[in-house]
Protein backbone atom coordinates (compact mmCIF):
# COMPACT_ATOMS: atom_id res chain seq x y z
CA UNK A 1 0.00 0.00 0.00
CA UNK A 2 1.48 3.40 -0.98
CA UNK A 3 2.33 5.81 1.82
CA UNK A 4 1.85 9.57 1.90
CA UNK A 5 5.18 10.29 0.26
CA UNK A 6 4.48 7.84 -2.57
CA UNK A 7 1.10 9.40 -3.30
CA UNK A 8 2.40 12.97 -3.03
CA UNK A 9 4.95 12.28 -5.77
CA UNK A 10 2.06 11.55 -8.17
CA UNK A 11 0.07 14.71 -7.40
CA UNK A 12 -0.30 17.85 -9.48
CA UNK A 13 -1.34 20.19 -6.62
CA UNK A 14 -3.97 22.25 -8.38
CA UNK A 15 -5.50 25.72 -8.15
CA UNK A 16 -7.59 26.77 -11.13
CA UNK A 17 -10.42 28.77 -9.56
CA UNK A 18 -11.19 31.93 -11.54
CA UNK A 19 -10.98 34.02 -8.37
CA UNK A 20 -7.51 32.74 -7.41
CA UNK A 21 -5.02 35.47 -6.58
CA UNK A 22 -1.24 35.61 -6.78
CA UNK A 23 -1.14 35.26 -3.01
CA UNK A 24 -3.22 32.07 -3.33
CA UNK A 25 -0.72 30.67 -5.85
CA UNK A 26 2.21 31.57 -3.61
CA UNK A 27 0.49 29.68 -0.79
CA UNK A 28 -0.16 26.74 -3.13
CA UNK A 29 3.54 26.54 -3.99
CA UNK A 30 4.58 26.65 -0.34
CA UNK A 31 2.08 23.91 0.48
CA UNK A 32 3.21 21.78 -2.47
CA UNK A 33 6.83 22.03 -1.33
CA UNK A 34 5.82 21.07 2.21
CA UNK A 35 3.73 18.11 1.07
CA UNK A 36 6.25 16.93 -1.51
CA UNK A 37 3.89 16.94 -4.49
CA UNK A 38 5.21 16.42 -8.01
CA UNK A 39 3.99 19.76 -9.31
CA UNK A 40 1.57 22.62 -9.01
CA UNK A 41 -1.03 23.17 -11.73
CA UNK A 42 -2.10 26.79 -12.27
CA UNK A 43 -3.67 29.12 -14.81
CA UNK A 44 -1.41 30.75 -17.42
CA UNK A 45 -2.08 34.26 -16.14
CA UNK A 46 -0.36 33.30 -12.88
CA UNK A 47 3.05 32.93 -14.54
CA UNK A 48 5.85 33.44 -13.85
CA UNK A 49 6.03 31.95 -10.37
CA UNK A 50 8.79 31.58 -7.84
CA UNK A 51 9.05 27.90 -6.98
CA UNK A 52 11.69 25.43 -5.79
CA UNK A 53 13.65 23.87 -8.65
CA UNK A 54 12.40 20.37 -7.82
CA UNK A 55 8.72 21.42 -8.09
CA UNK A 56 7.38 21.17 -11.63
CA UNK A 57 5.03 23.84 -12.96
CA UNK A 58 2.02 22.62 -14.95
CA UNK A 59 -0.20 25.14 -16.74
CA UNK A 60 -3.60 24.66 -18.38
CA UNK A 61 -4.28 25.56 -22.01
CA UNK A 62 -7.62 26.07 -23.78
CA UNK A 63 -9.17 25.81 -20.35
CA UNK A 64 -11.82 24.86 -19.41
CA UNK A 65 -13.99 24.60 -22.55
CA UNK A 66 -11.48 23.51 -25.17
CA UNK A 67 -13.38 25.63 -27.69
CA UNK A 68 -10.40 27.82 -28.53
CA UNK A 69 -8.87 27.52 -31.99
CA UNK A 70 -5.78 25.36 -32.30
CA UNK A 71 -3.60 28.35 -33.13
CA UNK A 72 -4.68 30.11 -29.95
CA UNK A 73 -4.04 26.99 -27.87
CA UNK A 74 -0.60 26.63 -29.43
CA UNK A 75 0.26 30.27 -28.75
CA UNK A 76 -1.02 30.03 -25.18
CA UNK A 77 1.05 26.90 -24.55
CA UNK A 78 4.20 28.40 -26.07
CA UNK A 79 3.86 31.56 -23.99
CA UNK A 80 3.38 29.49 -20.84
CA UNK A 81 6.57 27.54 -21.52
CA UNK A 82 8.46 30.77 -22.19
CA UNK A 83 7.21 31.96 -18.78
CA UNK A 84 8.42 28.88 -16.95
CA UNK A 85 5.90 26.07 -17.44
CA UNK A 86 7.32 22.54 -17.49
CA UNK A 87 4.06 20.85 -18.42
CA UNK A 88 0.97 21.82 -20.43
CA UNK A 89 -2.50 20.43 -19.72
CA UNK A 90 -4.56 21.22 -22.83
CA UNK A 91 -8.30 20.71 -23.31
CA UNK A 92 -9.59 19.12 -26.50
CA UNK A 93 -12.72 20.29 -28.30
CA UNK A 94 -15.13 17.88 -26.64
CA UNK A 95 -17.74 18.59 -29.32
CA UNK A 96 -15.34 17.26 -31.94
CA UNK A 97 -15.01 14.09 -29.87
CA UNK A 98 -18.80 13.76 -29.62
CA UNK A 99 -18.99 14.05 -33.40
CA UNK A 100 -16.22 11.46 -33.69
CA UNK A 101 -14.01 13.92 -35.58
CA UNK A 102 -10.89 12.28 -34.26
CA UNK A 103 -8.67 13.61 -37.02
CA UNK A 104 -9.63 17.12 -35.90
CA UNK A 105 -8.79 16.23 -32.29
CA UNK A 106 -5.45 14.86 -33.48
CA UNK A 107 -4.71 18.05 -35.42
CA UNK A 108 -5.60 20.17 -32.37
CA UNK A 109 -3.21 18.23 -30.14
CA UNK A 110 -0.54 18.18 -32.83
CA UNK A 111 -0.64 21.98 -33.09
CA UNK A 112 0.08 22.34 -29.39
CA UNK A 113 2.72 19.62 -29.51
CA UNK A 114 4.49 21.47 -32.32
CA UNK A 115 4.49 24.63 -30.22
CA UNK A 116 5.89 22.96 -27.11
CA UNK A 117 8.40 20.29 -28.03
CA UNK A 118 9.98 17.86 -25.59
CA UNK A 119 11.09 18.00 -22.82
CA UNK A 120 7.87 19.92 -22.14
CA UNK A 121 5.27 17.37 -21.02
CA UNK A 122 1.95 17.56 -22.87
CA UNK A 123 -1.20 16.26 -21.18
CA UNK A 124 -4.47 16.08 -23.11
CA UNK A 125 -7.70 16.60 -21.16
CA UNK A 126 -10.55 14.65 -22.75
CA UNK A 127 -13.51 15.23 -20.35
CA UNK A 128 -14.10 11.50 -20.07
CA UNK A 129 -17.35 11.88 -18.11
CA UNK A 130 -18.92 13.59 -21.14
CA UNK A 131 -17.85 10.84 -23.56
CA UNK A 132 -19.02 7.36 -24.47
CA UNK A 133 -16.49 4.54 -24.25
CA UNK A 134 -15.80 4.49 -27.99
CA UNK A 135 -15.25 8.25 -27.91
CA UNK A 136 -12.77 7.90 -25.04
CA UNK A 137 -10.88 5.32 -27.08
CA UNK A 138 -10.97 7.47 -30.21
CA UNK A 139 -9.65 10.65 -28.59
CA UNK A 140 -6.99 8.80 -26.62
CA UNK A 141 -5.72 7.19 -29.80
CA UNK A 142 -5.74 10.59 -31.50
CA UNK A 143 -3.78 12.15 -28.64
CA UNK A 144 -1.14 9.43 -28.80
CA UNK A 145 -0.79 9.79 -32.58
CA UNK A 146 -0.30 13.53 -32.09
CA UNK A 147 2.54 13.05 -29.63
CA UNK A 148 0.87 13.53 -26.25
CA UNK A 149 2.75 12.35 -23.17
CA UNK A 150 -0.41 11.94 -21.05
CA UNK A 151 -4.15 11.64 -21.43
CA UNK A 152 -6.14 13.21 -18.61
CA UNK A 153 -9.71 12.56 -17.53
CA UNK A 154 -11.15 15.96 -16.73
CA UNK A 155 -10.89 19.68 -16.14
CA UNK A 156 -12.88 19.35 -12.94
CA UNK A 157 -15.23 22.04 -14.26
CA UNK A 158 -17.55 20.00 -16.53
CA UNK A 159 -21.07 19.33 -15.19
CA UNK A 160 -20.86 15.71 -16.38
CA UNK A 161 -18.33 15.02 -13.63
CA UNK A 162 -14.69 14.16 -13.15
CA UNK A 163 -12.56 11.04 -13.05
CA UNK A 164 -13.97 7.54 -12.76
CA UNK A 165 -12.25 4.22 -12.26
CA UNK A 166 -13.86 2.91 -15.44
CA UNK A 167 -12.58 5.79 -17.54
CA UNK A 168 -9.05 5.48 -16.15
CA UNK A 169 -9.03 1.74 -16.83
CA UNK A 170 -10.21 2.30 -20.41
CA UNK A 171 -7.72 5.10 -21.00
CA UNK A 172 -4.84 2.97 -19.69
CA UNK A 173 -5.92 0.02 -21.82
CA UNK A 174 -6.11 2.28 -24.88
CA UNK A 175 -2.79 4.11 -24.56
CA UNK A 176 -0.73 1.20 -23.23
CA UNK A 177 2.07 1.29 -20.67
CA UNK A 178 4.25 4.04 -22.14
CA UNK A 179 1.81 6.98 -22.09
CA UNK A 180 0.78 8.63 -18.83
CA UNK A 181 -2.78 8.66 -17.53
CA UNK A 182 -3.83 11.48 -15.22
CA UNK A 183 -6.94 11.12 -13.07
CA UNK A 184 -8.32 14.55 -12.26
CA UNK A 185 -11.65 15.85 -11.05
CA UNK A 186 -13.19 14.69 -7.78
CA UNK A 187 -10.15 12.83 -6.42
CA UNK A 188 -10.49 13.89 -2.79
CA UNK A 189 -9.71 10.91 -0.56
CA UNK A 190 -6.92 8.40 -0.16
CA UNK A 191 -9.34 5.62 -1.09
CA UNK A 192 -10.18 7.36 -4.37
CA UNK A 193 -6.50 8.01 -5.09
CA UNK A 194 -5.63 4.34 -4.54
CA UNK A 195 -8.52 3.25 -6.77
CA UNK A 196 -7.32 5.53 -9.57
CA UNK A 197 -3.74 4.29 -9.25
CA UNK A 198 -4.89 0.67 -9.25
CA UNK A 199 -6.91 1.43 -12.41
CA UNK A 200 -3.80 2.71 -14.18
CA UNK A 201 -3.35 6.38 -13.25
CA UNK A 202 0.25 7.53 -13.15
CA UNK A 203 -0.58 11.10 -12.08
CA UNK A 204 -3.36 12.62 -9.96
CA UNK A 205 -4.84 16.10 -10.20
CA UNK A 206 -5.80 17.15 -6.67
CA UNK A 207 -6.80 20.50 -5.21
CA UNK A 208 -7.24 19.29 -1.63
CA UNK A 209 -3.88 17.53 -1.39
CA UNK A 210 -3.34 18.13 2.32
CA UNK A 211 -6.65 16.55 3.27
CA UNK A 212 -6.11 13.62 0.91
CA UNK A 213 -2.62 12.90 2.17
CA UNK A 214 -3.79 13.08 5.79
CA UNK A 215 -5.57 9.80 5.12
CA UNK A 216 -2.45 8.03 3.88
CA UNK A 217 -0.49 5.47 5.92
CA UNK A 218 2.66 6.96 7.35
CA UNK A 219 1.55 10.54 6.78
CA UNK A 220 3.81 13.06 8.40
CA UNK A 221 2.75 15.43 11.16
CA UNK A 222 1.05 18.43 9.63
CA UNK A 223 -0.37 16.60 6.60
Q: Where in the sequence numbering do the catalytic residues fall? A: 89, 152, 182
Q: CA nearest 203: which of 95, 50, 89?
A: 89
Distance of CA 91 to the CA centre of its chain: 10
How many H-runs (helices) and E-runs (strands) does the chain carry?
9, 8
List the Cα angle 198/86/40 in 5-degree steps: 60
Q: Please name the residues in contact with 144: beta carbons below 8 A apart, sequence gap of 6 or more.
A: 151, 175, 179
Q: Is the preceding omega at residue 175 within 30 degrees of 0, hence cis?
A: no
From the number of C-beta atoms within 10 Å of its C-beta (0-12, 13-18, 19+), residue 54 rates as exposed
Q: Round to whole Å and give the CA distance between 223 and 219.
A: 6
Amino acid sequence: MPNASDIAKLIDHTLLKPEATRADVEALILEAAELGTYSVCVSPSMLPVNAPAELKIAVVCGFPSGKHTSSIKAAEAAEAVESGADEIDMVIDVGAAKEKRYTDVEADVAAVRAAVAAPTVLKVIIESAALEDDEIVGVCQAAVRAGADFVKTSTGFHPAGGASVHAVELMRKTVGPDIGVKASGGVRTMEQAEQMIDAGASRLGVSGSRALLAGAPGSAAGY
